[in-house]
Amino acid sequence: MTRKLLAELVGTFWLVFGGCGSAVLAAGFPELGIGFAGVSLAFGLTVLTMAYAVGGISGGHFNPAVSLGLAVAGRFAWKEVPLYWAAQVLGAFIASGLLFVIASGMPGWSPGGFASNGFGDLSPGGFSMQAALLIEIILTAGFLIVILGSTSPKVPGGFAPIAIGLALTLIHLISIPVTNTSVNPARSTGVAFYAETAAVGQLWLFWVAPLIGAALGALLWRVLAPEESLDRLGGKGE
């Protein structure tokens, strides 16, 4: 279990440091030209690379919503969910803290939103709370379906990280203007406490919506592929 938790910490660290780092360090320089598309790709690449690197150790969740969704789908033991959540949030906090220290080395730098998530005044496009809640639920549900489907024994093995990484890239391309894209409570939590905005006050939505979406996605997958639910793991999870 220690190795699994360390793998989750490292994987979540990489996701936050790479994805949010691209927004904090690179997206602010127009001459680099990465913009929303570049940040979206960075998030997808973090998951793709770490899923290959440590996915064989921990399952490569890197996201509390994914851990919950896999438990609902019968692919993961419920008793391990809180432990995974703790490792993921800790990894996000470590990544955010180091990213803050690095970014502070730039003359005149200010944290601002610090790649945090939000709605209303904190939404890049000024979208409402209802819009943010809905898009985070829908996209997290879709993300879980991609994860569960691409890791199904009925599909060719070894390609799941590619599908999952591309799905996360697509999710960011859709929702950065709405919420700055969460679908991951750990990612949202790590950076919120370093932002100079009211991001912490809106953090509840970026736990509630992804968790609801993950559960819905997992339940839908159990309807689509009932033979892969609890029977796959003897009803106990991994």
| Whole-angstrom distance, CA of residue 61 vs CA of residue 147 | 10
Q: Output the pLDDT for position 66.
A: 98
**Domains of the chain (ranges, CATH numbers):** 2-105+114-233 (1.20.1080.10)
The pLDDT assigned to 30 comes to 62
Q: pLDDT tens digit string along 5-23?
A: 999 999 999 999 999 999 9
b/e per residue, 215-236, with b = 16+ CB within 10 A?
Answer: bbbbbbbbeebeebbeebeeee
Q: What is the pLDDT of residue 228?
A: 72
pLDDT of residue 234: 41
Contact 119, 132 (CB under 8 A): yes
pLDDT of residue 32: 63
Cβ burial of 174 (10 Å; 0-12, 13-18, 19+) is middle
Q: What pLDDT, on a 0 to 100 scale, did the predictor assign at position 33?
A: 66
pLDDT at 35: 87
Q: Which residues of the chain have pLDDT under 70?
A: 28-33, 229-238
